[in-house]
């Protein structure tokens, strides 16, 4: 068994969290390849190390001294080293970075030092080997990952050893450091898992998995135990904040399951995203909810037979004007498209006028200020129950479309929260 365990910034924010990480890693012999982020926020008003490093870079660029800022960054790592009693001369690393800073230092290089320092310190803490990401994760000059070369490099460097490697960055062909966009350590973890044909990619964070509903609206929603990759895609497409698509793609392509777990509740199983597309997953009727606000619904009704190319034509009109179509369905009487566009947005109205011009025989109806609630269900029999609960809470359902494995229910945007609470209660209590 080989598990790639990636720990995010909140899992590395202070010494207590580092101790927790060590317990998790040493608790399972499969966890032999560790990917780390830079230290994150310790509390809501705190700063992420990466933010401080970008700020440092801005100081350098404008010739403003950054010593005070640097002391803050250094202080965070020194405190972790001392409080965890790690035998590692991190001062040497910190001094080497600071002494070489100049207005020519690149933002990518400086930002990457958070992950670099975390990984060196973590390697010493765990007694693992440090493997620099710059020595295996290779980008082309356009910033695309050279997967084959990167995978080959990591397999030969890791070679069955226990290693810690930094997330978020790699090297360009000329050796300069290049970073992913923010949050990119998730991608590194996924690439490492695919490179090493891991049995699982564990993504350790500060939430106990993907929650069945938005916790800002539903109190203490349950974590979803298991999902298939297509289900995950459906949820994230409908607004659930999960890992970025580029962090999911490498493990999905390599048929490796992804497990999202909380560093602060390691006894909970978290959410497992499996490759088995539903098989072996529990038979719950409703799995979870996601939602998109600020939705508009465009219905195109045909008196006679609909034009075969109507969907393509309408989509072209909308996308040309920057209106995002996130769902469309075609029935006998016409087309229904759900759009992400701000109410009153000129582009949307202009697109509708053009659709009217292009389809003269059709009735084009636009309804704005809606929200679309996605109910992810493994059995369709649950859907009427959810719609009924929403109606009983005084929320009319304007449109309901079954999109296996789930259904989209459109309600007034102003009633979205009431709708979600009613549907959640109907599904889970
Ligand atoms: N430290 C980087 C950031 O804050 C990358 C990461 O944590 O994934 O965006």
| Ligand 1 contact, 166 CB (< 6 A) | no
Q: Does residue 261 contact residue 205 with C-beta atoms inside 8 Å?
A: yes
Nearest atom in ligand 1 to 181's CA: 9
Q: At what angle do helices 67-83 and 49-61 cross, to 10 degrees?
A: 150
Separation between Cα atoms, residue 295 and residue 348, nearest integer Å: 11
What is the whole-number distance in angstroms between the Cα of residue 50 and the centre of ligand 1? Answer: 6
Tokens read off for 339: 């759009």
The whole-number pLDDT of residue 69 equals: 96
Nearest atom in ligand 1 to 168's CA: 5
Q: Hey, whose CA ends up nearest to atom 6 of ligand 1?
A: 183
What is the whole-number distance in angstroms between the Cα of residue 66 and the centre of ligand 1? Answer: 21
Q: Does residue 17 contact residue 38 with C-beta atoms inside 8 Å?
A: no
The residue count for the chain? 429
Strands (E), 159-213: 163-166, 169-171, 177-179, 200-205
What is the whole-number distance in angstroms between the Cα of residue 210 and the centre of ligand 1? Answer: 20
The pTM for the full model equals: 0.89
| Ligand 1 contact, 167 CB (< 6 A) | yes
The whole-number pLDDT of residue 387 equals: 95
Strands (E), 180-249: 200-205, 226-228
Q: Does residue 226 contact residue 271 with C-beta atoms inside 8 Å?
A: yes
| Ligand 1 contact, 38 CB (< 6 A) | yes
What is the whole-number distance in angstroms between the Cα of residue 101 and the centre of ligand 1? Answer: 21
| Ligand 1 contact, 181 CB (< 6 A) | no
Residues 277-325 have pLDDT tens digits of 454 445 668 999 999 999 999 999 987 776 778 888 899 999 888 898 9
Contacts of 198 (CB under 8 A, 6+ apart): 2, 3, 4, 33, 192, 256
| Ligand 1 contact, 185 CB (< 6 A) | yes
In a 3-state reduction of DSSP, which class is residue 267? coil
- State the sign of the Cα–Cα–Cα–Cα dihedral 344, 347, 350, 355: negative
| Ligand 1 contact, 291 CB (< 6 A) | no
What is the whole-number distance in angstroms between the Cα of residue 379 and the centre of ligand 1? Answer: 38
| Ligand 1 contact, 48 CB (< 6 A) | yes
Calculate the dihedral angle through the C-alpha atoms of 352, 353, 358, 363, rounding to the nearest 10 degrees. Answer: 70
Can you tell me which residue has the tokens 């009427």? 384
What is the whole-number distance in angstroms between the Cα of residue 69 and the centre of ligand 1? Answer: 18
The whole-number pLDDT of residue 279 equals: 45
Which residue among 115, 188, 247, 263 is best mutated to probe the pocket of ligand 1, counting the most ligand atoms within 8 A of its Cβ? 115
Contacts of 80 (CB under 8 A, 6+ apart): 14, 15, 18, 39, 86, 121
The whole-number pLDDT of residue 104 equals: 93
The whole-number pLDDT of residue 39 equals: 98
Separation between Cα atoms, residue 253 and residue 105, nearest integer Å: 36
What is the whole-number distance in angstroms between the Cα of residue 317 and the centre of ligand 1? Answer: 38
The whole-number pLDDT of residue 280 equals: 46
| Ligand 1 contact, 184 CB (< 6 A) | yes
What is the whole-number distance in angstroms between the Cα of residue 9 and the centre of ligand 1? Answer: 7
How many Å separate Cα 36 from the centre of its chain?
16
pLDDT in tens, the chain (429 residues): 999 999 999 999 999 999 999 999 999 999 999 999 999 999 999 999 999 999 999 999 999 999 999 999 999 999 999 999 999 999 999 999 999 999 999 999 999 999 999 999 999 999 999 999 999 999 999 999 999 999 999 999 999 999 999 999 999 999 999 999 999 999 999 999 999 999 999 999 999 999 999 999 999 999 999 999 989 988 888 878 788 889 999 999 999 999 999 999 999 999 999 976 454 445 668 999 999 999 999 999 987 776 778 888 899 999 888 898 988 888 777 899 999 876 667 888 999 999 999 888 889 999 999 999 999 998 878 899 999 999 999 999 999 988 878 899 999 999 999 999 999 999 998
């Amino acid at each position: 068994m080989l598990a790639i365990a990636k720990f995010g910034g909140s899992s590395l924010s202070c010494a207590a969290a580092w101790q927790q990480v060590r317990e998790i890693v040493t608790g399972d012999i499969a966890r032999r390849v560790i990917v780390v982020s830079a230290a994150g926020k310790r509390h809501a008003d705190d700063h992420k190390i990466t933010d401080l490093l970008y700020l440092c870079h801005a100081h350098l660029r404008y010739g403003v001294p950054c010593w005070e800022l640097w002391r803050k960054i250094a202080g965070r790592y020194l405190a972790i080293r001392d409080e965890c009693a790690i035998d590692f001369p991190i001062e040497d690393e910190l001094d080497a970075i600071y002494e070489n800073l100049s207005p020519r230092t690149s933002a990518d290089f400086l930002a990457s030092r958070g992950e670099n320092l975390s990984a060196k310190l973590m390697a010493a803490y765990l007694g693992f080997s440090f493997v620099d990401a710059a020595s295996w994760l290779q980008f082309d000059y356009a910033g695309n990952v050279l997967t084959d070369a990167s995978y080959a490099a990591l397999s030969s460097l890791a070679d069955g050893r226990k290693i810690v490697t930094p997330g978020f960055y790699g090297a360009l062909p000329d050796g300069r450091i290049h970073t992913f966009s923010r949050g990119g350590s998730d991608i590194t973890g996924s690439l490492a898992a695919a490179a090493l044909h891991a049995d699982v990619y564990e993504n350790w964070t500060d939430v106990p998995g993907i929650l069945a509903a938005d916790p800002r609206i539903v109190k203490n929603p349950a974590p979803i135990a298991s999902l298939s990759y297509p289900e995950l895609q459906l949820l994230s497409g409908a607004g659930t904040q999960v890992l970025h698509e580029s962090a999911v793609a490498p493990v999905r392509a390599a048929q490796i399951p992804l497990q999202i777990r909380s560093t602060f509740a390691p006894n909970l199983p978290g959410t497992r995203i499996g490759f088995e597309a539903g098989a072996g997953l529990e038979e719950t009727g409703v799995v979870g909810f996601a939602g998109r606000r600020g939705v508009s619904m465009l219905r195109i009704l045909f008196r006679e037979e609909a034009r075969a190319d109507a969907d393509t034509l309408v989509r072209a009109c909308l996308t040309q004007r920057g209106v995002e179509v996130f769902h469309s369905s075609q029935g006998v009487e016409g087309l229904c498209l759900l759009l992400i566009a701000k109410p009153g947005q000129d582009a949307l109205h202009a697109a509708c006028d053009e659709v009217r011009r292009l389809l003269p025989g059709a009735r084009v109806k636009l309804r704005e200020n809606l929200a679309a609630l996605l109910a992810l269900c493994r059995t369709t029999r649950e859907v009427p129950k959810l719609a009924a609960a929403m109606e009983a809470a005084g929320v009319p359902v304007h449109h309901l479309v079954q999109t296996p494995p789930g259904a989209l229910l459109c309600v007034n945007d102003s009633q979205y929260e009431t709708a979600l609470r009613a549907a959640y209660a109907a599904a889970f209590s």
